[in-house]
Amino acid sequence: MADWPLISDLGPLGALPTAPRLARGFTGAVLSGWGLSRLSDVIELLVSELTTNVVRASTGPDGHPRYDTAGKLPLLWVRLLSDHTRLMVEVWDNLPEVLGAPAMRHADPQEESGRGLDMVDTLCQEWGWESVAGWSGKRVWALVSLG
Confidence check: pLDDT of 147 > 90: no
The model carries a pTM of 0.88
Q: What's the pLDDT at 109? A: 62
Of 8-22, 73-87, 88-102, 130-144, minimum mean pLDDT range: 88-102
Q: What pLDDT digit, counting tens, does each position of 55-76 carry?
A: 999 998 999 999 988 999 999 9
Mean pLDDT of 104-111: 61
CA 111 to chain centre: 22
Specify whether the CB–CB gap between 8 and 79 falls below 8 A: yes
Q: What is the mean pLDDT of the chain?
A: 88
Q: Which residue has the higher pLDDT, 108 or 52?
A: 52
CA 25 to chain centre: 13
Mean pLDDT of 33-43: 96
Domains detected in the chain: 6-145 (3.30.565.10)
Q: Which has the closest alpha carbon to 132: 95, 86, 83?
A: 95
